[in-house]
Amino acid sequence: MLKLGVNIDHVATLREARYRGQPQGEPDPVLAAQISEAAGAHGITAHLREDRRHIQDRDIWRLREVVKTRLNLEMANIPAIVTLALKLKPEIVCLVPEKRMEVTTEGGLDVVANRASLAETCRQMRDAGIEVSLFIDPDERQIDASARLGCEFIELHTGQYARQFPDAAGREQELARLTASARQAHALGLRVNAGHGLNYHNLTALHQVPHLVELNIGHSIISRAITVGLGTAVAEMLRLLENYPG
């Protein structure tokens, strides 16, 4: 069964637009996580960025208290966040690149160039009983480097697929890249997640990519929730994951 991880970052983005720097405000990303779980989500994803532009420290600690499924902490590989993650003990961390000027995470980690520092973080997480996923582009060299680090998961960056989706030729090219990458990762013993830019229109075509374990989706679900409610938005996305052949 293909699983759904709901990313709640954009709930916090909306809150911070009005209540930046205040100890409380609405909407509440923790409540959003609980609603998503009640609707059937298999996990909750939240990105604690170094600049704290959306999710705040208090959110992460409350999420650790209330999430009953699987807490996935997206994070940059920087010492302060690594230390926090080791104390928080989410079920899994997803290491992602982080740039101050980007609106959201664009592009995957360069595992090849940062192998030494990533290896140390993977070791620390493994010793703490925390699984590690690396957010990477569907690239043969990056997948091979990820497998050598001994992490449990990779998360394939589907942003280029999402951008190319309206163009039939571009869509097929990106699906071929994702398919080849998923097969390579699976053969190397990695479990494969995917995410970025996935929505209610482009998700079903992704069913042809084999070996996927979980899709992490945020913006599309939160956007849909404005008109139909969060529980319904999650349930609708879950229905699109049905019948995934694996």
pTM for the whole thing? 0.95
Per-residue pLDDT at 98: 83
Task: Measure Cα distances from 108 to 22, 72, 97, 113, 202 in Å.
Answer: 32, 17, 6, 12, 20
Query: Residues near 47 by Cβ (< 8 Å), separated by ≥ 6?
Result: 7, 9, 54, 55, 73, 74, 75, 96, 105
pLDDT tens, residue by residue, 110-144: 999 999 999 999 999 999 999 999 999 999 999 99
Say how far apart CA 160 and CA 170 lie, in whole Å: 9
| Angle subtended at Cα 104 by Cα 30 and Cα 142, rounded to the nearest 5 degrees | 110
Q: Which of 42, 131, 196, 214 is catalytic?
A: 196
Share of the chain above pLDDT 70, in %: 97
The residue written with tokens 């374990």 in the block is 213
pLDDT band at 104 (very low <50, low <70, confident <90, very high): low
Domain 3-241, what architecture?
Answer: Alpha-Beta Barrel (3.20)
Q: Is 207 a catalytic residue?
A: no
Q: Which of 10, 42, 47, 157 is catalytic?
A: 47
Q: Is the link from the previous residue into 27 a cis peptide, with omega within 30 of 0?
A: yes
Q: Is 74 a catalytic residue?
A: yes
Longest Cα–Cα distance in the chain: 49
Q: Which of 74, 98, 155, 174 is catalytic?
A: 74
Share of the chain above pLDDT 90, in %: 95
Q: Is 102 a catalytic residue?
A: no
What is the pLDDT of the chain when averaged over all its residues?
A: 96
